[in-house]
Amino acid sequence: MAQHLGAYNEILYPPFLTAAASPDRLAAAARLRGIAAAPPDRCRMLELGCGDGTSLIAFAYAMPGSHFVGVDLAARPIEIGQEKIQSLGLRNCELRQGDVMELDAASLGEFDYIFAHGLVSWVPGVVRDRVLGLLRACLKPNGIAYLSYNAYPGGFQRDMLRAMLLRHTAPISDQREKVRASHELMDFMAQAPFPKPFHAFVEEQRQQRRFASLLYDELGDINRQYFVSDFTALAQSHGLAFAGPVAPDHSLAAMPSALQEQLDKYSAGDATAREQYLDYLTGSSFRQDLFCRAEKPVDHTRRWEPITGLYTCGLFREVERLETDPPHLRRFETPLAMRVPVPYAGVARAFEYLNSAYPRAVPFAELAAQAEDEPAERLAQILLQCAVAGAVDLLAHPHRHASKASERPRVSALARSQAAEGFQANLLCLSVQIDRRVARLLLPLADGTRSQDQLAAELTRILKQREAPDEDTAKSWQKALADPGAEVQRQLHTWCRLHLLESD
């Protein structure tokens, strides 16, 4: 695990929130597979390779009744994370500097949830095996583990690019110069007068890769890809069972029936084989998978019954029907323009209620009451289909975010502490973006001590005292100064929708 250790302490990996590993989402995913996972707000979670603890800190803030432990080999990120924990006053989160090869499972204890994001593809095989062994040793009987890893077949393109970059930069010892030379080579390749499909991938990487991720991923000592069938076999050899992907590929919801039949034929009822052939269809290059103890039975059939114990969060608007639609059918649309046809009056009422309740996550019983005489199975089946398609979010417990701004609105202390960073962790443990021109100035002020009028007055004072760094920012500030009260209202409405405001 010593690759780039010195650099990890000097060139920090960018903070990253692994939202898919939130205990809430892991619990919901586990319950859909017939595993009675622990309540997210009363659990123990371990992260291996936690960096500065960005994910664990967000989880700990959102779920104060649970306890979170993170371990990382690099000391500096751990120190940074510990400073954040102390500044937020969190008592349920601890970060430790240590080598997974030296961790003692007995002293760590058992955990309901364990995750390692961005670790197993970048360490030697002996370390990967130790991680898998720790998962087995430290998981509780109903525990769930999350592992992410680079995958084939999409990983073949990454292998090609990595080989080229490593050859090109082999004579260079300085790490910053290696990254600069890598970008230079990708710029060169992007100008190819006879572009191939691979060049589109290179251009995508050229645009997306930040300095640290390029240094530690493509230029790292180890970067291993796995077919999902091979990786699950490795996990099985350590006493773990494949419990499926954290979330389905939403693009597959509209798979043609003929293709679905062929997929069923190839997979022959085997969950791992199904995922392997799905990867062939999508060209997957990265996977986020769940594992449990090998003796734990896993239901891969997507039954509707677990939906009745979950919470649903979703935002819809009704859109015009098609001329060919039957009279009873109504159509709804998500903010991402995903259309959901609803042929049942009771289910349509439940959708209207879900929309009116947003951003609150609604328990199934409450939705079923709105559907009145509609069978619970029908409502649950449609919600399950919507979740698979990415139209709704399924959660295992309610969160403490506000449904509307109070007179003295309070943005979470965690989000306020991140005002100057590139993202905010909201109360659903998702990474969200805010308006960098005005919101970053207003957000730290919304700590529950100021009324909305006082926020408007303080925003006015700040904007008048400062000089805008560029023309676009100047225009945003001028608009805010023209009606600061309206600007505060607009920002609060946005923050509420983004699950940043805490309830009183």
| pLDDT value, residue 1 | 40
- Kindly report the average pLDDT of the chain as a whole number: 93
Residues contacting 254, CB < 8 A, separation 6+: 389
Which range among 71-80, 192-201, 423-432 shows the weakest confidence by mean pLDDT? 192-201
What tens digit of pLDDT does each residue of 42-63 get? Answer: 999 999 999 999 999 999 999 9
| pLDDT value, residue 283 | 93
| pLDDT value, residue 239 | 98
pLDDT-derived band of residue 336, with 50, 70 and 90 as boundaries?
confident
From the number of C-beta atoms within 10 Å of its C-beta (0-12, 13-18, 19+), residue 153 rates as middle
pLDDT-derived band of residue 484, with 50, 70 and 90 as boundaries?
very high
Which range among 59-68, 76-85, 204-213, 289-298 shows the weakest confidence by mean pLDDT? 204-213
What tens digit of pLDDT does each residue of 348-402 get? Answer: 999 999 999 999 999 999 999 999 889 999 999 999 999 988 889 999 998 888 9
Report the alpha-carbon distance of residue 315 to residue 360 in Å, rounded: 10
Burial readout 76-89 (b: 16 or more C-beta within 10 A, e: otherwise):
ebbebbbebbeebe
Give residue 294's Cα distance to chain centre.
Answer: 26
Torsion 478-481-483-487 (CA) sign: positive
Answer yes or no: is pLDDT of 70 > 70.
yes
| pLDDT value, residue 2 | 42
**Coil, helix or strand for 48?**
strand
Answer yes or no: is pLDDT of 418 > 70.
yes
Residues contacting 308, CB < 8 A, separation 6+: 364, 365, 368, 376, 380
Answer yes or no: is pLDDT of 18 > 50.
yes
Q: What percent of the chain has pLDDT over 70?
A: 98
Answer yes or no: is pLDDT of 333 > 50.
yes
Other CB atoms within 10 A of residue 210 CB? 11
Report the alpha-carbon distance of residue 425 to residue 290 in Å, rounded: 23
- Strand arrangement of the beta sheet that strand 339-342 belongs to: 317-319, 330-333, 339-342
Report the alpha-carbon distance of residue 328 to residue 294 in Å, rounded: 47
Report the alpha-carbon distance of residue 106 to residue 489 in Å, rounded: 52
Higher-confidence residue of 265 and 220: namely 265
What tens digit of pLDDT does each residue of 137-157 get? Answer: 999 999 999 999 999 999 999
pTM of the model: 0.93
| pLDDT value, residue 3 | 46
Give residue 86's Cα distance to chain centre.
Answer: 24
What residue spans of 33-148 are helical by DSSP H?
54-62, 75-88, 105-108, 125-138
Mean pLDDT of 400-415: 93
Answer yes or no: is pLDDT of 5 > 60.
no
| pLDDT value, residue 208 | 84
| pLDDT value, residue 504 | 78
Mean pLDDT of 195-206: 85
Answer yes or no: is pLDDT of 308 > 50.
yes
- Residue with token string 């009873």: 328
Higher-confidence residue of 488 and 433: namely 488
